Structure 1
Amino acid sequence: MTRILEFIVAAIIVFALAVVVGLALPSSGHIERSVDISHNLRHIDDMLSNFRRFPEWGSVRMMDSQAKFALEGPGSGKGAKISWTSSKPNPGNGSYEVVEKDQDKTIVWKVDGPWKGENKRYTISLEPQKNGRITKVTWAYDVDYGWDLIARYSGLYINGDPATQIQLNLASLQQQMASIPNVDYTQTEIFIADVPAQPQLVVATTAPRSLDEVDAATVKAMEEIQAVMKKNNLTAAGPRQTITVEWGDENYVFEVAQPVSSPNIKIDGKDFVIGPAQPPSLAEQNAEEAEPPAPVPGQYDRKGNLVVSGNVVARTGYTGKALVTTWVGSPAGLPLMRLALKAYAMSMGYRFNDSTNRYFDLPLTDPATTAVDEQQFKVYLPITDNVVANEPAPAPPAATDPAATPAAASGQH
């Protein structure tokens, strides 16, 4: 009996000591890790303000490749949220949500997961260094334990798993940023557009990388297209498009595409309907000869385009969502605008494949009557995300003063 009493007393003393030690432990926890990233400040801010690509680069995927993710809330900024489920205790089930944001300075994520404590949050601070080319990214974790003594004891291990995940996130973020073109798009207005399907006549061409050479190749391509349009009584259904295939070190490989008024076209007296390009399947490609004969008018080429005449082919142009911006200035600035769209897409987590759905641009002004440095273009990068378009509608034409033009107001010409 005495030994039992001694055991009970010892247990009480141990428990009391545990309580006293627990009360003496901090009621909150804080850790932080930093890394220098040689990249544009805004790109990093945008990357951390949305979760579209987080399943690819975040620590959760590294700890469980089978974790399931779900996005909620707005696409970016305050309220953007990602949740995940995992069969593994680490990382377990949880979520991150952007709850605070100070542009280009700090982003705060609310943390919901298996770690002990309340009010768990990541605070990610961005600090440009003196030379302006490097950004110091500091990733901090904060948690409140309150009077939960067990949680306070868990704080002794805050430099374990939370610190490990922070370090994984920083290392992976650094790698992700290295793949993004370091082009400043802070002064560029970028929107999401709905691009409608349009039948097009297309000519593929190549020119040395000079404005004069590209213009000459474009004019020649348009002459071929206009000859086909005249023969088929087709009219232009919008500005021509320049589709970038390859911006090489010396040559520019591109396609000139002209939307036309009707999908109906005659080729060698036979009626055809212009539709989407339908490239042959891999099996069909493998079954073909190494160098198949060139297709004749009325047949389809290896890219699935309907061959019309000479170098002219027909297909339905790209249809779907696209990032779009307007460039004002010399056409020599268009390649930089394409890179700006790519950098924006990668930072914001939009998905694209510029090898299949290529950049395209169209002129808004007539180069024959507009100074070179005052020309205007719309530049597009197709994306595959199912997002809501937000491109502003074109401004309506200016109202005419009836008193100033009475003939026009009365319908006379």
Structure 2
Amino acid sequence: MKILKYLLFLILGLYLVGFILPSKMHVERSLKTKADPAQIFPFVNDLKNWGQWDPWIQKDPNMKTEYRATTSGVGGGYKWTSNHKEVGNGEMEITESVDNEKIATKMNFGDQGSASGLFALKKEADGTKMTWSMDSDNSTMSLFSRPIGNYMNFMMDGWIGAEFEKGLANLSKIAEAAPMPAAGKIIETIMSEVKDIHVIQIESSCALTAVGEKLGELYGRISKKIEENKLTVAGAPMAMYPDYKPGDTNTKLIAMMPTTAKCTKQCDADMKCYTIPASKVVKCTYQGPYEGNNVAYGAIKKYIDDNKLQAAGEPWEAYTNDPEEVKDPSKFETVVYWPVK
């Protein structure tokens, strides 16, 4: 009986001690990498890319994810569901995003509480210092639950610090292997409208390094078909890259040539006649090397968020000058169109 009494006093004492433990938790880890911030940022700023380096996602290959329409930049988010005891359920949203510098997130773990996260990149002489941190505050928890939450905070550094270290090591490895984004500039980002665009298109895939060569081959075939069908080219050659994510080494692509009238004759087995429907679009004009035009997509996503619009279809690119004539990659011009509503 005395043992039970002492045990009860011990439990009560530990419970009361929980009230004086810090209610705030901060876990932080840093790692130096040879990669440039511009190589790292796409893997952090787009939540669809976290699966390539986040240790918790990699713990459970059967984890179910539900992505928002936007997954990168401010407002990007997703939910996850997992039966793995170290992963659980939750949701994450990007609340702040500064190109090549940082992203801030908020996380909701349901009855396990909430937290905020920060991923910061600091450019240094021979690489980048990456810092991953997480903070939470139990002061808003119920009086009964607060001591338990404070004990968890007390032990959190040991629990998740090692996982942060694994994640940073994974990220360093893939970022160092990623190509350095080329420099370019945004000329303008505006709201516009397009009428129906009749195109002849071919879908294919190739290594990212072979995109230019592959598009040249496909445009040649399409141009021949346009001539055979006695159609007229109605604008610059175009392309879509469905499902592409920064860091991919291969990509699907759809090469398209616009025509003044709809093709009505039989095309080759892998060649289709299609009409891109009239719509409102956000239009971004980018000047610079083609491999750097991801900044145009980032500018459009920001415009969509700032103006409370919604993406309403796949974006496409138009190459409005000829690299065989312009020669200088810094003068190449790409216009990106993204349907919105």
TM range, normalised to the smaller chain?
0.5 to 0.7
Flag structure 2 segments of 5+ consecutive residues without an equivalent: 203-212, 241-254, 302-315
* Residue among 170, 173, 178 paired with 1:172: 170
Q: 1:377/1:104 Cα in 2 relative to 1: closer, same or farther (>3 Å)?
A: closer
Q: 1:261/1:30 Cα in 2 relative to 1: closer, same or farther (>3 Å)?
A: closer
**Partner-residue secondary structure (3-state), 2:48:** coil
* Residue among 114, 121, 130 paired with 2:125: 130
**Partner-residue secondary structure (3-state), 2:134:** strand
* Residue among 32, 36, 43 paired with 1:36: 32
Q: 1:200/1:262 Cα in 2 relative to 1: closer, same or farther (>3 Å)?
A: farther
The answer (yes or no) to whether the contact 1:191–1:389 under 8 Å persists in 2 is no
TM-score, length of structure 2 as denominator length = 0.63
| 1:52 and 2:48 aligned | yes
| 1:389 and 2:339 aligned | yes
Distance in 1 (alpha carbons) for counterparts of 2:187 and 2:176: 23
Distance in 2 (alpha carbons) for counterparts of 1:47 and 1:374: 25
The answer (yes or no) to whether the contact 1:181–1:342 under 8 Å persists in 2 is no
Partner of 1:154: 152
Partner of 2:65: 69
**Count of aligned pairs:** 285
Partner of 1:341: 293
Q: 1:236/1:25 Cα in 2 relative to 1: closer, same or farther (>3 Å)?
A: closer
Residue identity in the other structure for 1:238: G
Q: In the TM superposition, what are the counterparts of 1:19-30 in structure 2 within 5 Å? A: 19-30=15-26
- Structure with the larger RCO, 1 or 2 (CA within 8 Å, 6+ apart): 2
TM-score, length of structure 1 as denominator length = 0.53
The structural deviation recorded for 1:140 is 0.9
Q: 1:186/1:380 Cα in 2 relative to 1: closer, same or farther (>3 Å)?
A: closer
The structural deviation recorded for 1:174 is 2.1
Residue identity in the other structure for 1:128: K
* Residue among 375, 379, 386 paired with 2:334: 379
Distance in 1 (alpha carbons) for counterparts of 2:86 and 2:108: 13
* Residue among 235, 238, 245 paired with 2:235: 238
Q: Greater share of strand residues, 1 or 2?
A: 2
The structural deviation recorded for 1:241 is 7.3
Partner of 2:199: 198
Structure of greater Rg: 1
Partner of 2:161: 163
The answer (yes or no) to whether the contact 1:263–1:274 under 8 Å persists in 2 is no
The structural deviation recorded for 1:91 is 0.3
Q: 1:363/1:242 Cα in 2 relative to 1: closer, same or farther (>3 Å)?
A: farther
Q: Greater share of helix residues, 1 or 2?
A: 2
Residue identity in the other structure for 2:117: Y
Partner of 1:84: 80
The answer (yes or no) to whether the contact 1:58–1:169 under 8 Å persists in 2 is yes
Q: 1:83/1:242 Cα in 2 relative to 1: closer, same or farther (>3 Å)?
A: closer
Question: What is the root-mean-square deviation of aligned Cα atoms in Å?
Answer: 4.9
Distance in 2 (alpha carbons) for counterparts of 1:191 and 1:169: 35
The structural deviation recorded for 1:128 is 1.0
1:69-128 per-residue CA deviation (whole Å, 9 max, x = no partner) reads: 011264432222111001222201111111234454332211222795x54121212211
